Amino acid sequence: MSTREELQVPKADFQSYYGRPILKEPTWKVPDVPLYLFLGGMAGTSATMAALADLTGREGLARTGRYAAALGSTASVVALVHDLHRPTRFLNMLRVFKPTSPLSVGSWILAPFSGAAGAAAVSTLTGVLPAWGRAAGVASGVLGPALSTYTAVLLADTAIPAWHEYHRELPFVFGGSALASGAGAALLAAPPAELAPARRMAVLGAGIELAAATRIERGDGIVGEPYRTGRPRRLMAAGRILTGVGAGLALAGRRSRLVSDRNARLLSAAAGASLLAGGLCTRFGVFYAGRVSAADPKYVVVPQRERAEAAAAGKAGGTTGPGSPPSPGSPPSPGSPPR
């Protein structure tokens, strides 16, 4: 574009009618829904960790995981019900099962998971019906991965640009964050002798979360801009730092000749607190980025224009490119079958 053209064509400000946003901003309340996202993820990975720990004879780690899963899922349901205003609205979502609706599928994951996780925790705490308690723990462990990641699908399935555009990355952000958060809960409360699996979970989860979040924040498209500005940027940066520090402390807290048992315990507790805080910041950052993208029309208009222009360019190129069908009236190419 020449300098003259730049002067004659003003920069588009993407104003909509009456200055109203093109998309309706999510009415989900803060902190209810970000907490619901965070607690559900932590509960899901804690339940799976507890089930695997039970199978491998790590009773202390299994006990901590069951308590974390029960507390996390219960608090998650409370946050969701508070956002819905009335418990009956949550119950109404269970009247039907719609496989094409992430909200319906998520409700049918959350409800049985919470019941199974609660039963496993009560059995562990009281010693009543241990066989049924273990079965409930296995059931919640099987549902754990779905509970940890379905909320990412729930967000990506909306029309909110900052969520929908990154439908490939968000499940990895949420899954990695959930792994790190579940490990954080274990590092805070499980016996030190059984923390090796939790440390591996912390490093793996932090790696997945940081890689996916970095891919979003460094993306070229304008839709990634909300993640790089204002409050979402600060929250995502805080989540990245806390998660990275937590993973490092989890490794540093391993029992060895260089680290005393007391220091190892302190390092593990600090790692757990840092991982949990990092996961919380990441969920809040993703949530606020969605709100920012819904409020500004440019995050809706610019990607639509880019997609339309790309489709038009592809269509124009497709009619003249090699292998494209001949247009009516055009001479046959050498070697083509006779008409």
Over residues 235-255, the pLDDT tens digits come to 999 999 999 999 999 999 886
- C-alpha separations of 56 from 49, 114, 144, 274 in Å: 11, 24, 18, 27
Give the other-Cβ count within 10 Å of 234's Cβ.
14
The span from the first CA to the last CA of the chain, in angstroms, equals 46
Amino acid at 333: S
Superfamily holding 31-303: Formate dehydrogenase/DMSO reductase domain (1.20.1630.10)
> How many Cα neighbours within 13 Å face the side chain of 236?
28
Distance CA 56, CA 53 (A): 5
* Predicted local confidence at residue 318, as pLDDT: 62
**What is the model's pLDDT at position 99?**
81
What pLDDT, in 10s, does the model give residues 91-116? 888 888 888 887 788 889 999 999 99
106: enclosing H helix or E strand = helix 102-126
Task: Give the residue extent of every domain in the chain.
Answer: 31-303
Q: How many CB atoms lie within 10 A of CB 115?
A: 14
Does the predicted TM-score (pTM) go above 0.95? no
Q: What is the pLDDT along the chain (339 residues), one digit of tens a residue?
A: 555 555 565 556 666 666 677 888 788 889 999 999 999 999 999 999 999 999 999 999 999 999 999 999 999 999 999 988 888 888 888 888 888 887 788 889 999 999 999 999 999 999 999 999 999 999 999 999 999 999 999 999 999 999 999 999 999 999 999 999 999 999 999 999 999 999 999 999 999 999 999 999 887 788 899 999 999 999 999 999 999 999 999 999 886 666 788 888 999 999 999 999 999 999 999 999 999 999 888 888 888 888 888 888 887 776 544 444 444 444 444 334 443
Identify the residue whose tokens are 């593990």: 268
The reported pLDDT for the residue numbered 16 is: 67
Q: What are phi and psi of 101, to 5 degrees?
A: -110, 115
